[in-house]
Structure 1
């Protein structure tokens, strides 16, 4: 009788252990699936820093959240040279200065999103990232017919959620390969030109700039220098193949 009870107890213990093993295995498998999914999304959303290195284009990417007094000068220079570039604008700036934004649009320049506010997107949740990008899109779309597909996070700051949010909303995340650092104190036109021209890889490059007075002075020089290297100055879409 005692032996029979022990065997039943042993079977019960084995059954419980099997059930526990199945549950633990299921949890591990689901965890790995979720982890793989997130990791894959992150890889797919890798930001674009450089375009096609075989391209004869180099892109000017001008991030706009301020600098209203300089934008007309930049537009005039670009018009004289018959050059179209990419302006990444924040939603709050477009809302505050719709007429100036429409001037950029009417000049035929490419429009990208810079988010709604100039925040540190690397500290935002998925939903907050999506809200910033979507809110900017709503304001921008009041002035253009085609939805922008390029998104440049302010200060180049992003996290995994930023990348996921951008892709879910139909955007490619854009950074840069050459930084003018034109916002830094003491950045004269000559220094800005030097920072750009001393870089070795110009083909397919993306030059980050802002509407600063010295930048406006540097642009004609940069255009001449880059064209002398048989490069065409253009939009971000020109270097990434869109």
Structure 2
């Protein structure tokens, strides 16, 4: 081996030694460890793609479960406004988070969000309302009060027994004579509506008298129980557009009619009252009642019938709102 060749061999040995030391040193080990950590991605912390089985399942359920909102509309047959109903849409991301958190992949773990309709009851302008939305599983046994004091207590007891709040439309002159009874109704948590002052035919009186009937009743109710009603029920269901406009524009009140009439003021048998309501019992129905012997005796069975149909008894305002009510 000549001198030049020896130098080359020695240099190669020295280079190999340093290369070996560098590869086995801590800095390189640390670098390699970092690279491994960065490339080992925690899949659970990353947004799931369309190929993720859980996401695919939630999207499939979403197609089945989504319910689009229903706009409020004017019913040409009834010549009245029909309230809208909020939609119910599956929130995909919230549902996935919920299922990963609970470890359960079942439809009851889906998370929903309510979506309001594009057209609301208020946007339709002043119109009478005869019912709630037909998709809403709610009903109101509303009670117009101008007489029949002896039946108020048993009706209140029945409502309390079933933990139901309903709407009482009070005649102004009745409130004037019976402020304590009016307070008792409000004390039970029921909604209070305006039923005019002297039970006139609202369609046959002038604008000034309409204002007096509604306004005087508003004042006497507010003086007696500190509540200012937002709902107006014309006595005997008699009204015209002028009544609806004045109630809405001057008193900020909706005019409320009914879907089913018990005609209980004729004192029919209890079975007749029940049958009249049974024929029309459905989602969104407003039932007209009075504190009579017939309706007082029929109320409990009517409540049971509604519940058996999956229809929840509640106030008029709740029935005609667009808020969802998903009864199990």
Q: Same fold (TM over 0.5)?
A: yes
Q: Equivalents in 2 of 1:98, 1:149: separation in Å?
A: 19
Cα contact 2:175–2:224 (8 A) shared by 1: no
Structure-1 residue corresponding to 2:265: 183
Which contiguous aligned blocks of 4+ residues in structure 1 show a shift greater than 4 angstroms?
none
Q: Equivalents in 2 of 1:133, 1:165: separation in Å?
A: 9
2:276 paired with 1:208 = no
Q: Equivalents in 1 of 2:282, 2:223: separation in Å?
A: 35
Structure-2 residue corresponding to 1:232: 312
Cα contact 2:263–2:289 (8 A) shared by 1: yes
Number of aligned positions between the proteins: 198
Cα contact 1:124–1:161 (8 A) shared by 2: no
2:183 paired with 1:102 = yes
- How far has the Cα of 1:238 moved from its partner? 1.2
Match of 1:147 among 211, 228, 236: 228
- How far has the Cα of 1:96 moved from its partner? 0.2
- How far has the Cα of 1:165 moved from its partner? 1.4
TM-score, with structure 2 as normaliser: 0.59
Cα contact 1:126–1:164 (8 A) shared by 2: no
Cα contact 2:260–2:285 (8 A) shared by 1: yes
Match of 1:90 among 171, 175, 179: 171
- How far has the Cα of 1:202 moved from its partner? 1.3
- How far has the Cα of 1:143 moved from its partner? 2.8
Larger Rg: 2
Equivalent position SS for 2:252: coil
Cα contact 1:91–1:139 (8 A) shared by 2: yes
Equivalent position SS for 1:141: helix
Equivalent position SS for 1:70: helix
Q: Equivalents in 1 of 2:246, 2:214: separation in Å?
A: 8
Equivalent position SS for 1:69: helix
TM-score, with structure 1 as normaliser: 0.79
Q: Equivalents in 2 of 1:103, 1:59: separation in Å?
A: 20
What pairs with 1:55-204 in structure 2 (closer than 5 Å)? 55-167=136-248, 168-185=250-267, 187-199=268-280, 202-204=282-284
* Cα RMSD, aligned residues only: 1.3
Deviations 1:169-212 (A, max 9, x none): 11000000011111124x1111100000112x510110000000
Q: Equivalents in 2 of 1:76, 1:239: separation in Å?
A: 22
Equivalent position SS for 1:238: helix
Equivalent position SS for 1:183: helix
Q: Which has the higher contact order (CA 8 A, sep 6+)?
A: 1
Equivalent position SS for 2:158: helix
Q: Equivalents in 2 of 1:188, 1:229: separation in Å?
A: 23
